[in-house]
Amino acid sequence: MHFLASLLVGKPLSIFLIAVGFFIAYLIVRNFSHRRRAKYLGITTIFWLLYAAWELLIKIKTPDADIRVDLLVIWPVIFVLSLFSIILLFFKCEK
């Protein structure tokens, strides 16, 4: 958990790069595969971008914030959504 915190907390550029990775995956899946999978990757990209904007705002407004209760909500949502999007990439959805 400490590794994750050191990678993401107070580093909006790192978070933005993760969002770029999901966006690239979105573009690839949208062009070559199922649109439903691409939709979830797009939603995940938007959430990562919102998180990057939120981290930038926190860094600008309160750079000395020690206790980040907001991460108790943000991280589980981002984690579940990212995991779900990645699982959909590797498993074929039959309709």
Q: What does pTM read for this prediction?
A: 0.85
Write the pLDDT tens digit of every residue in 40-90. 899 999 999 999 999 999 989 987 877 888 888 999 999 999 999 988 887
Distance CA 85, CA 77 (A): 12
Residue 19's pLDDT is 95
Question: Most distant CA pair in the chain: distance in Å?
Answer: 50
Write the pLDDT tens digit of every residue in 24-40. 989 988 888 777 778 88
